[in-house]
Amino acid sequence: MRPDNSPMTTDALAALEKAGFSRRGFLKGAGALIVGFRMTGGAVKLAAQTAPGVPLDRVDSWVAIAQDESVTGYSGKCEFGQGFETVQYQLIAEELSVPLDRVKLIYCDTSVTPDQGVTSGSQSHMAEFGPSGLRQALATAREALFRMAADQLKVPVDQLTVQDGIVSVKSDPSRQMSYGQLVGGNKFNLALNSRAVPKDPAQYTILGTSVPRFDLPAKVTGQAQYVQHVRLPGMLHGKVVRPPSVGAKVVKVDESSVKSLPGNVRVVVKNDFVGVVADKEWQAIQAADALQVQWSDGVALPAQPDLYDYMRKQPSRDAYTVLSADVDQMLGQAARVVRATYLHPYQMHGSLGSSCAVADVKGSGADATATIWSATQGVYPQRDSAAMVLGIPRDKVRVIFVEGSGCYGINGADTVSYDAALLSQAVGRPVRVQFSRKDEMTGGENYGPAYVVDLKAGLDDKGQIIAWDYESWTLSKGGRPNATTPGNIITGALAGFATPALVPARGNPPANFGNNGNAAPAYGSGCVGATCGGTGTIRSERVLTHTIASPFFTGPLRSPSRLQNTFANESFIDEVAAAVKADPVQYRLRHLSDPRLIDVLNAAASAAKWDTRASPKPGNAKTGIVTGRGISCVLYEGDNGYCALVAEVEVDQGSGLVTVKRLVISQDSGPVSNPDGLRNQMEGGVLQGMSRALREEVRWGDQAIASTHWRTYPVFQFGEPLPVVETVLINRPDKPHMGAGECTITTAASAIANAIFDATGARLRQVPFTARRVLEALGAR
Amino acid sequence: MAKLSLTVNGRSYSVEADPETPLLYILSDDLQLNGPKFGCGLSQCGACTVLLDGEPVRSCVTPVSEAAGLEVISIEGLGTPEDPHPIQRAFIEEQAVQCGYCISGIMLYGKTFIDRNPNASEQEIVESLTGLLCRCHAHVRMVRALKRYAQEVRA
Ligand code: FES
Ligand code: FES
């Protein structure tokens, strides 16, 4: 949202109408429907407008230049606090050579922005700077503008130059035309040209600088409108009533239990979806509390303490990331085999704000339309799946993204959008649903799944690893919804849509090496057939993942599988280094081949003034407070950003309390678009990773989730000792863009575990490292 | 239902509400303020913080009747994007936000403490924020912004 974000003015509405929005039936005469639409600057005559389908291959889908010289970009990559909105402003200004304050950006609205899937997985840079994204559209537009100017000014294109959106003749700058004049209020009417040449990053003057975030002035002054603040005329407030135990079904709903309550309470039931609607939010909360619902028993859950054993015994769907033929043979002839098992719990996204959405479903049958205001990561997937939930055609559904609380993956944003849509459809009025904290934590989120990872390394007589054997078990249920799977999230399933069942299957040898979940270690060569995609030197590798059915909904959590696998792999390499009494950095370097991974590792170590020696630290007492340092590194997703982390910790061996004192992170994501923005992401990522490592675990009892709020799902809070966090950026303008937001979080647990080992000689193999577990590990020394 | 008079950010309002209604819902739904936000509703995070006669309170657990007759200030009452309060300027200068959902708590508890203890150490500032959450974990920058504000208060 821009600082001057405000509800639409009639002027702006008129401009939109002129630009063709009125073609969309559901917009007719409904000014309020556009509340939350990020459109600024009053009456702007948009020169070009995207067709209802918003085709990805048309320049007009991405950019419009108005006669007032403003440039409007359209994008499918949304802002969640990660700062990518500002990067997109920079990209538009840079590629078209216009001042930043002339740029507008409209993103994530199914009626006007291109379908770029979901904003997730550190994919935004790759998408927008890639061969079919925003940058390519801008490069095509720029070349077209130069051609138009060459025509009008009657000089060859190579005689022209541009500054601040004015194209002029190099030899005679008085001969010039502005973009607005050139475009003349028209569309580009051009296909994206894959051969258009974007600016050379070495020439960047706006990208690569720390442009301040556009959204911050509004956010810090309370002006920013989040999805929680979408307020429509006639809007009612809805609340959901979720099953008290996992898998419970509605037996009976006693509507009379809320009859006497104020606020025109309505009860809505669809299969096992139950909700109430009232005039005011407080009335809806009270009605939801008072509503008597008889539920069946839930399903039996695996006892939490037995989870990891249980996981090993279930039928599974198996997948190999890499499978060298000689792993057993190499392990058999190894001078020594090191083994360890790592355990990672279910964790929540734990967004600070409980999720919220507003929906306005009008009419029925063929005339039905729906508009949903949502903090979803994917407006198009939500549009398509919500259409199924509502039983109306998808082209009658519009999903408008409005920023919510930072999400870190699939929090309750999608499911609460279905809730609002179902309630609005039932009562025929706009409905806002604000989850309670418990709704979010027990009936909103798709959790990040637990993992068990068994690791084996075969060493030769010099202590070099000659074989790496990884076998893991994880769980899955649902995930991100797409056009056919509303049952992937809680409300879809409650409303009667099937959650696709996990089908057990044997894994086949992989066709190529894709280390998307970071299951393979950084130290393997990743050879499948004749091609090797890994970052290391170990040629004999087996990486096998078993996925079993999860009792709880699961989905991508920053950063899916990479969090759990990097904990295991980067702890294990440390264990092996310790087993051969090698320095953890040097030992890693002995097995790495990728120069960029080597560089980030060295950069973090040198910035942290790493003292080169084996762990544990000699001379540390077995009692009292001791300190240590640990390291971790990863090539995120095998191709999407390099980072390394040094953690320094203090361990109180009396209480088991671990305090992280210092975190030094280095990162290489290719060209740095916004150095300060990248640092912000690295800092937040590593601290969230620390919180996950030390505190976070979803807990449950016989039938129900027991982590219902911040006391039963504790996270790192203000008031606790804050580590010093230092960042080192490695800028590579000559390389392709990579992801930036999810690398550092994956390295936190292992770097901290390795530092605890360095300090104490005790190895933490189960996240989170609670005081009790630390004491147990100390006892086992 | 009762008729209640509220003074919020220097303006008077009269609202009709169940006196038990948490103040947050009145501010957010009725007065259409975006500063105080719903995070937990349980006094566990601070996203809903406002100043009540100068003291930070969690509006999610403060009945609106308790606020009647007192002066309520939300972060909107401190400054605007064009004319931010020095503490807001400090957050902008340090780029001390990610999603910004938590900001009311950090800013209003921090401001209250620093206004009274401009010479506080970094550790004391951190401790004054005990019980607040930022789930983007932008802690480092936020503390930097508060230190910058403290410097300004001292000057
Ligand atoms: S919303 Fe009030 S403290 Fe969390
Ligand atoms: S900035 Fe997102 S919760 Fe604090």
Residues of B with Cβ-Cβ distance to A217 under 8 angstroms: 81, 84, 88, 92
On whether any CB of chain A is under 8 Å from the CB of B3, the answer is no
Instruction: With H, G, I as helix, E, B as strand and everything else as coil, classify residue A514.
Output: coil
Q: What is the ipTM of this complex?
A: 0.98
Q: Which residue in chain B has the smallest CA separation from A708?
A: B40
Q: Is the Cβ atom of B40 under 6 angstroms away from ligand 1?
A: yes
Task: Report CA torsion sign: A390, A394, A397, A403.
Answer: positive
Q: Which two structure tokens, joined as six digits, stand for A543? A: 């990486």
Token couple for A607? 């910035």
Q: How far is CA A692 from CA A138, A293, A521, in A?
A: 40, 36, 21
* Closest residue to atom 3 of ligand 1, CA basis: B43
Cβ of B43 below 6 Å from ligand 1: yes
Which run of H or E residues covers position A252?
strand A250-254
Instruction: For residue A355, give the nearest of A490, A263, A215, A488 by alpha carbon.
Output: A490
User: In this complex, is the C-beta atom of B84 within 8 Å of any C-beta atom belonging to chain A?
Assistant: yes
Give me A62's structure tokens: 């991405």
- A-interface mutation test, from B37, B60, B135, most A Cβ less than 10 A away: B135
pLDDT of residue A39: 30
Contact residues on chain B for A725, CB-CB shorter than 8 A: 140
Alpha carbon separation from B74 to A582, A585, B90 (Å, rounded):
56, 50, 17
Helix axes A743-760 and A771-779, enclosed angle (nearest 10): 40
CA of B147 relative to ligand 2 center, distance in Å: 18
Peptide bond into A559 cis (omega under 30): yes
Q: Is the CB of B44 under 6 A from ligand 1?
A: yes
Assess contact for A196 and A725: CB atoms under 8 A.
no
Nearest-CB residue to A222 (from B17, B34, B41)? B34
How many CB atoms are located within 10 Å of the residue A707 CB? 22
Q: Is B2 on the interface with A (CB under 8 A)?
A: no
Find chain B residues with C-beta within 8 A of A683's C-beta: 137-138, 140-141
Which sign, positive or negative, has the C-alpha torsion A419, A425, A426, A430? positive
Mutate to test the pocket of ligand 1, among B25, B26, B48, B135 (most ligand atoms within 8 A of CB): B48
Least CB–CB distance from A715: residue in B29, B75, B133: B133
Q: Where in chain A are all domains bearing CATH 3.30.365.10?
A: 10-220, 228-297+349-443, 314-347+449-779
Give the separation between CA A408 and CA A82, rounded to whole angstroms: 10
Q: Determine contact, residues A33/A232, Cβ cutoff 8 Å.
A: yes
Burial class (CB in 10 A: 0-12, 13-18, 19+), A325: exposed
Indicate the pairing of strand A531-532 with strand A397-401: unpaired
CATH 3.30.70.100, domain A314-347+449-779, yes or no: no
Q: What are the per-10-residue average pLDDT scores of chain A (781 residues)?
A: 32 36 29 28 29 79 94 90 91 96 93 86 80 92 96 96 96 96 94 93 93 96 97 97 96 97 97 98 97 96 97 98 97 98 98 98 90 95 95 94 94 97 98 98 97 98 98 97 93 97 96 94 95 96 98 95 97 98 98 98 98 97 98 95 98 98 97 95 97 98 95 97 97 92 96 98 98 98 90
Considering only CB atoms, A352 lies closest to which of B76, B92, B101, namely B101
> pTM, whole model, 2 decimals?
0.93
C-alpha A433/C-alpha A425 separation (Å) is 13
Phi, psi of A211 (to 5 degrees): -60, 130
Q: Determine how β-strand A642-652 pairs with β-strand A625-635.
A: antiparallel
Are the CB atoms for A160 and A168 separated by under 8 Å? yes
What 3-state class would DSSP assign to A60? helix
Are the C-beta atoms of A121 and A739 separated by less than 8 Å? yes
Structural tokens at position A171: 């030899």
Determine phi and psi for A324, rounding to 5 degrees.
-80, 145
- CA B14 to CA B7: how far, in whole Å? 9
Provide, for chain A, the percentages of residues in helix, strand and coil under a 3-state DSSP scheme, each rounded to the nearest 5. Answer: 30, 25, 45
Residues of B in contact with A289 (CB under 8 A): none
How is residue A295 written in tokens? 């539920």
Q: How many CB atoms lie within 10 A of CB A28?
A: 12
Cβ distance A710 to B40 less than 8 Å, yes or no, reads: yes
Residue A633 Cα, gap to closest chain B Cα (Å):
21
Q: How many of the other CB atoms lie within 10 Å of CB of A202?
A: 9
3-state DSSP assignment of residue A221: coil
| Secondary structure string (H, E, C) spanning A370-391 | EEEEECCCCHHHHHHHHHHHHC
CA angle, corner A47, sides to A44 and A53, nearest 5?
A: 110
Q: Which residues of B touch A680 (CB under 8 A)?
A: 95, 98, 138, 141
With a CB-CB cutoff of 8 Å, which residues 129-148 of chain B face chain A? Answer: 129-141, 143
Check pocket membership of A780 for ligand 2, CB cut-off 6 A: no
- Distance in Å, alpha carbon of A375 to nearest chain B alpha carbon: 12
B61 interfaces chain A, CB cutoff of 8 Å: no
Ligand 2 site-directed mutation target among A352, A354, A688, most atoms within 8 Å of CB: A352
Please give the CATH number for the structural domain made up of B86-154: 1.10.150.120
Residue of B nearest to A217 (CA): B81
| Min Cα–Cα distance to chain A from B72, Å | 14
Instruction: Characterise A561 by phi-psi region: left (phi > 0), alpha (psi -120 to 50), beta (else).
Output: left
Beta pairing class for A369-374 and A397-401: parallel
Query: Which amino acid does the sequence have at A225?
Result: Q
How many Å lie between the centroid of ligand 1 and the Cα of residue B108?
Answer: 13
Q: What's the pLDDT at A26?
A: 28
**Partners of residue A350 in chain B, C-beta under 8 Å:** 135
Q: Give yes or no for residue A448 CB within 6 A of ligand 2.
A: no
B84-128: pLDDT as tens digits: 999 999 999 999 999 999 999 999 999 999 999 999 999 999 999
Whether B106 has its CB under 8 Å from any CB of chain A: the answer is: yes
Q: What is the DSSP string of A439-463?
A: HHHHHT--BBPPEEEEEEEEE-TTS
Between the CA of residue B79 and those of A225, B35, B71, B72, B110, what are the distances in Å?
A: 16, 11, 16, 15, 16
Q: For residue A408, which ligand has an atom nearest its CA?
A: 2
User: What is the structure's pLDDT at A2?
Assistant: 31
B27 contacts chain A (CB < 8 A): no
Q: For domain B2-77, give the CATH number.
A: 3.10.20.30
Q: What pLDDT does A83 receive?
A: 87
A19 is written with which tokens?
A: 């630009």
B149 at the A interface (CB within 8 A)?
no
* Beta-carbon separation of A717 and B143 below 8 A: no
Q: Does ligand 1 have an atom closer than 6 angstroms to the CB of B101?
A: no
CA-CA distance, A226 to B104, in Å (whole number)?
14
Which residues from B are below 8 Å from A685, CB to CB? 137
* C-beta separation of A728 from A604 below 8 A: yes
Out of B37, B42, B101, B104, mutate this one to test ligand 1's pocket (max ligand atoms within 8 Å of CB): namely B42
Cis peptide before A768 (omega within 30 of 0): yes
- For chain B, how many helices (H) and strands (E)? 6, 5
- Residues on chain A touching B103 (C-beta within 8 angstroms): 219-220, 222
How would DSSP label each residue in A621-633?
-SSSEEEEEEEEE
Question: Hey, what CATH class is A228-297+349-443 in?
Answer: alpha beta
Q: Does domain A10-220 have CATH number 1.10.10.10?
A: no
Distance CA A133, CA A181 (A): 26
How far, CA to CA in Å, does A366 sit from each of A22, A33, A362, A396, A605? 19, 20, 11, 9, 63
Rounded distance from Cα A597 to ligand 1 centre (Å)? 42
> What separation in Å is there between the alpha carbon of A721 and the centre of ligand 2?
18
The Cα–Cα gap between A701 and A593 comes to 47
Q: Which two tokens stand for residue A606?
A: 């040198």
The predicted structure's pLDDT at residue A398: 95
Sign for the CA dihedral angle at A152, A158, A160, A162 comes to: positive
Q: Is the pLDDT of residue B73 over 60?
A: yes
